[in-house]
Amino acid sequence: MFALGLIDTGYRFGGKNPEAGLDCSGMVSYIFNQATGLKVTGNAAEIARKGLPIEKSRLQPGDLVFFNTRNAPFSHVGVYIGDDRFVHAPSSTGRVRIDRLSAGYFAARFEAARSYFD
């Protein structure tokens, strides 16, 4: 999956490409544009509003997962890659990485899943 090629890319607030660094929404926009040609723009909350709601139990690789990480709805987004895992660009570690949806921190902050595919 295209997203895995971004592992360890540096974090930068507002970042939209790997050379300059990525934030969570910039990473999603970059992945969708490069891998599918689909334009997915905006911050995490705007991306959530444009996607099709799906049940967490029906997640497929490429779907988006959203979290409340700053006491703000839909403040963080990642790309689901299967097996309870997602790729995201957290500011806390400064690098794009893989985490589990069931991990304590993310499980407690999970808000919704969205798909941009039929």
How, if at all, do strands 52-54 and 110-115 pair? antiparallel
Helix, strand, coil percent content, the chain, rounded in steps of 5: 30, 30, 40
Residue in the structure block whose two tokens are 């779907």? 63
Other CB atoms within 10 Å distance of the CB of residue 10:
14
Q: How far apart are CA 104 and CA 112, in angstroms?
A: 16
- Active-site residue list: 24, 76, 88
Q: How far apart are CA 24 and CA 33, in angstroms?
A: 14
